[in-house]
Amino acid sequence: MKFKLSTATLCISGAVFAMSLVNPTLAKIPDFLGNGANRNSTTVPELEQKSTFDQTSSPDLVAQAVAVNLTGTWRANDGGTYYIRQVGNELWWYGQSSNNGRSFSNVFHGYIGRSEVAGNWADVPRGRTRGSGEMVVRIDSNRRLTAVRRTGGFSGSVWTR
């Protein structure tokens, strides 16, 4: 799915700046870093001509409302406990097996779309397993997540809280 941005959005070190543009013909993209990198900055109409983004390829440039709050402690059908943190449209987790992570311990980072989270996971050295891969998780509700695509041998497929 492709769409045009209606506001200017800039992400610097995890902080998101969004501006509604009253007079887009006069607006310039500000030089937040102060390094002169956008000395010849582009006006917004010129930017819009180049700014059709694919939702899955440019998550930092996609402005979308995230109506769920997934932060919390979750249990999965692999017997693990997952500590999930949502920051805007980004999702992070640390998951571990029921034996205090000795069987498996993993981390995940992904981006929240309309009804899914897409990202990458990797086992960490606390557990015995050493897998890694990509994963897409469907957001069924604020209380249930379901894996719809997993690579690398990830065993969990349903998370609840």
One domain, residues 86 and 138: yes
Q: What is the mean pLDDT of residues 52-60?
A: 44
> Range of 24's domain?
2-61
Per-residue confidence band for 48, with pLDDT thresholds at 50, 70 and 90 = very low
One domain, residues 46 and 94: no
pLDDT beyond 50 at 38: no
67 inside domain: no
Segment 7-23, tens digit of pLDDT: 344 443 444 433 333 44
Distance in angstroms (rounded) separating the CA atoms of residues 140 and 122 = 23
One domain, residues 84 and 141: yes
One domain, residues 40 and 84: no
pTM (global) more than 0.95:
no
Q: For position 67, what pLDDT does the model report?
A: 80
One domain, residues 84 and 34: no
66 inside domain: no
24 inside domain: yes
For residue 3, give every residue at least 6 positions away whose Cβ sits within 8 Å of its Cβ, in sequence order, or none: 52, 53, 55
Segment 112-144, tens digit of pLDDT: 999 999 999 999 999 999 999 999 999 999 999
One domain, residues 47 and 99: no
Percent of the chain with pLDDT over 90: 58
Distance in angstroms (rounded) separating the CA atoms of residues 119 and 41 = 32
Q: What is the mean pLDDT of residues 30-53?
A: 43
pLDDT beyond 80 at 4: no
Distance in angstroms (rounded) separating the CA atoms of residues 5 and 12 = 18
pLDDT beyond 50 at 80: yes
109 inside domain: yes
Number of domains into which the chain is organized? 2
Distance in angstroms (rounded) separating the CA atoms of residues 10 and 16 = 6
Among residues 61, 89, 111, the one where a domain terminates is: 61
Distance in angstroms (rounded) separating the CA atoms of residues 98 and 155 = 14
One domain, residues 116 and 81: yes
